[in-house]
Amino acid sequence: MNNNLLPIEIIGGGLAGLSLGLALRRKNVPVKIHDKGGYPKHRVCGEFITGLGATTIDRLGLAPFLKDALHHHSVAWFIGGRATKIQTLPQPALAMGRHQLDQRLADSFVQSGGVLCSNSRITDSLTLPGRIVATGRRKGESSWLGLKIHAFDFPLDRDLELHLGDQCYIGLTRLPLGRVNICGLFAKRDLSAKGAKLLLIYLRAAGLNKLATRLAQADFDADSFCVVAAVGFDRRVSKAKGMSLGDACAMIPPFTGNGMAMAFQSAESALHPVLAYSRGQMDWQTVCMTVQNDLRRRFQTRLVSAHLLHPFLLVPRRQRWLARLTRSRLLPMQTLYSVLH
């Protein structure tokens, strides 16, 4: 370890925190990551990655971690229970389980000499020089709930099926090792059940009866079930003091499948300025401003575009408009995917 380098402390060991920590370790920077949980863990995530370019993969050295990710080319849209459109993605998306991906990054970070403090929740002094916040979505008022579970060998129409219901959408994605990710965003309702049963009653409440009946036959991995409440979305990059990366800086609506790419891209944006700080070449305030400006430049268009489209996926009346536009080939999703890089 080079003692002349200033240490960096990262709060939150998800994709943003681990990928930045690892990239800094490769430059010999002393790095400590605190995570309030442990590894491996299932997370509420569709595990479908759009917009992650070769440059980001290269700069963060992510290729070995993504080596067995599936490459997906098509999305089948179902609106109001009807198959509406098969969309070819402008660029293939990757699909890989977080249970495996986060564990691989965490192992590699530790092997590179990084210090990983599991079960360590940090809530204060977040703006201290050298401290980076990568704690995921910010908690706030929201009526949205995320549910996720894996099933084994469940047949799909396409690489990704996206179903729009009443105040909900849900994606079904093929993953490596014969798994299928089933993950949805739902308006919170007064419903109670456990595990896959909760998912099925939420689907029925949202009018997605056919899908619920199909999924009732699935062979679920009960351990993979997880829920997240109070999911909120951002229209702009956070102006909070200090440095925030990944969802902590801006959470894009999940239908884009772009949150994981944004977590990596924010780590990529932070890498050189943080390195300059560690080498004593830039003060912390300038580093934070440089990174925040870069994140704003990179993310603003996609955040606003996704925010404008989001209500069209959730409300049946608007979904009918979306279906009409889709049939007349004015698919707004194609335009959206092209700004996700």
Ligand X SMILES: Cc1cc2nc3c(=O)[nH]c(=O)nc-3n(C[C@H](O)[C@H](O)[C@H](O)COP(=O)(O)OP(=O)(O)OC[C@H]3O[C@@H](n4cnc5c(N)ncnc54)[C@H](O)[C@@H]3O)c2cc1C
| Contact between residue 218 and residue 199 where contact means Cβ atoms under 8 Å apart | no
CA proximity to 333, closest of 95, 70, 84: 84
Site string for ligand X, 228-267 (x = CB under 6 A): x--x--------------xxx-----x--xxxxx-x----
Given a contact cutoff of 8 angstroms between Cβ atoms, the answer to whether 49 and 257 are in contact is yes
- As a whole number of angstroms, the distance between CA 296 and CA 178 comes to 38
Pick the closer one to ligand X by CB: 5 or 11: 11
| Count of C-beta atoms within a 10 Å radius of residue 41 | 14
Residue 16 binds ligand X (CB under 6 A): yes
> What is the nearest approach in angstroms of ligand X to the Cβ of residue 216?
21
- Is residue 181 a contact partner of residue 46, using CB atoms and an 8 Å limit? yes
Binding of residue 167 to ligand X (CB under 6 A): no
Q: Which helix (H) or strand (E) covers residue 172, if one does?
A: strand 168-174
- Residue 313: what are its φ and ψ, rounded to 5°? -90, -15
Backbone angles phi, psi at 106, to 5 degrees: -65, -45
CB of 174 to ligand X, least distance (A): 12
Sole window of 13-21, 58-66, 103-111, 192-200 interacting with ligand X (rule: CB under 6 A): 13-21
Residue 97 as a binder of ligand X (CB under 6 A): the answer is no
Helix, strand, coil % (nearest 5) of the chain?
40, 25, 40
Work out the end-to-end distance of the chain between its first and last CA atoms, rounded to an integer number of angstroms. Answer: 35
Interface with ligand X, residue 99, by CB under 6 A: no
Please state the closest distance from residue 147 (CB atom) to ligand X, in A.
7
Given candidates 3, 4, 119, 123, which one binds ligand X under the rule CB under 6 A? 123
Minimum distance, C-beta of residue 4 to ligand X, in the bound complex (Å): 28
CB of 20 to ligand X, least distance (A): 9
- List the interface residues with ligand X, window 203-232 (CB under 6 A): 228, 231
Given 9, 35, 159, 294, the residue binding ligand X (CB under 6 A): 35
Provide the minimum distance between the beta carbon of 264 and ligand X in the complex, in angstroms, as a whole number: 9
Angle at 205 between CA 200 and CA 211, to 5 degrees: 45
Q: Which residues of this chain interact with ligand X, rule CB under 6 A?
A: 11-17, 34-37, 44-49, 121-123, 134-136, 146, 183, 185, 228, 231, 246-248, 254, 257-261, 263
